[in-house]
Amino acid sequence: DTAVSQTPKYLVTQMGNDKSIKCEQNLGHDTMYWYKQDSKKFLKIMFSYNNKELIINETVPNRFSPKSPDKAHLNLHINSLELGDSAVYFCASSRGLASADTQYFGPGTRLTVL
Amino acid sequence: AQSVAQPEDQVNVAEGNPLTVKCTYSVSGNPYLFWYVQYPNRGLQFLLKYITGDNLVKGSYGFEAEFNKSQTSFHLKKPSALVSDSALYFCAVRSGGYNKLIFGAGTRLAVHP
């Protein structure tokens, strides 16, 4: 059983398009995250939701809009895609916000903007 | 601000030899430290974490890490490396009250037969 899953795995699109990435976790966790990994493999947090409430927004352009319809899902919608948005996007989840709560990551979505 | 540093871009080890992947941290308050591994074209897999207690933390796949407060380090170790351990390893520190992880730049481990 996949704990944290993302769709699609690969996404190739043109500049200016709008696209969405979906994430689902079946761990019963309350907290979910989006991370971006750039071409140099550097990982940076973008957003976090706890019980469907946005709690972290790391100065991400407002073209990026996360949405959490329920605790098990956190989707990422990106408007007006730019070349610099090309990256691997990872979803993660944790039981909650306690210091001991481990984050578990999905397999990633590789976004390529042409 | 919380940060972690992984001073080595790459570590090369012969199979069967011990391996160490280095990590140093800078935090205000108690450090909560994590190691993750990323295999090619895969997501990050959790290896181990230090929250409190024993300085030697044991994790998955035979890995362990030693927390050293005086040296502000959290090095990842394994007594005998396998070729299948070849991957990208990330050290991370928890930052703030919302469980935000700050990652190091990653260290590529190459284990040669």
Q: Which amino acid is at A113?
A: V
Neighbouring CB atoms inside 10 A of A31's CB total: 25
pLDDT value at position A102?
93
Q: In terms of Cα–Cα distance, which of A104, A110, A107 is closest to A30? A: A104
Per residue in B2-49, pLDDT tens?
Answer: 899 999 999 999 999 999 999 999 988 889 999 999 998 888 999 999
pLDDT digits (tens, 9 = 90+) for B47-93: 999 998 899 999 999 999 999 999 999 999 999 999 999 999 999 99
Neighbours of B4 (CB within 10 A): 24
Residue whose tokens read 């329920």: A70
Q: Which of residues 59-78 of B touch A (CB under 8 A)?
A: none
User: How far away is chain B from the Cα of A84, in angstroms, using its nearest Cα?
Assistant: 19
Asked if pLDDT for residue A108 goes beyond 80, the answer is yes
> Which of B10, B46, B99 to mutate against chain A (most A CBs within 10 Å)?
B99
pLDDT for the residue numbered A12: 97
Per-residue tokens: B55: 């300085």
- At residue B97, does pLDDT exceed 80? no
Does pLDDT of A97 surpass 70?
yes
pLDDT tens per residue across span A82-92: 999 999 999 99
Measured between beta carbons, the chain A residues lying within 8 angstroms of B45 are 105
Given CB atoms, is B42 within the 8 Å cutoff of chain A?
yes
- Give the closest-approach CA distance of A52 to chain B in angstroms: 14
pLDDT band at A69, cuts 50/70/90? Answer: very high
Interface residue B5 vs chain A (CB under 8 A):
no
Are B43 and A108 in contact (CB < 8 Å)?
A: yes
Tokens read off for B100 = 């935000």
Q: Which residue of B has its CA nearest to A10?
A: B41
Secondary structure string (H, E, C) spanning A1-37: CCCEEEECCEEEECCCCCEEEEEEECCCCCEEEEEEE
Task: Please tell me the distance from the alpha carbon of residue A88 to that of residue A110, in angstroms, as a whole number.
Answer: 4
Q: Which of B46, B99, B105 sits opposite A104 (nearest CB)?
A: B46
pLDDT at A1 over 70: no
Average pLDDT for chain A: 93
For the stretch A21-50, pLDDT in tens is 999 999 999 999 999 999 999 999 999 999
User: Angle B54-B58-B62 (CA atoms, 0-180°, nearest 5)?
Assistant: 160
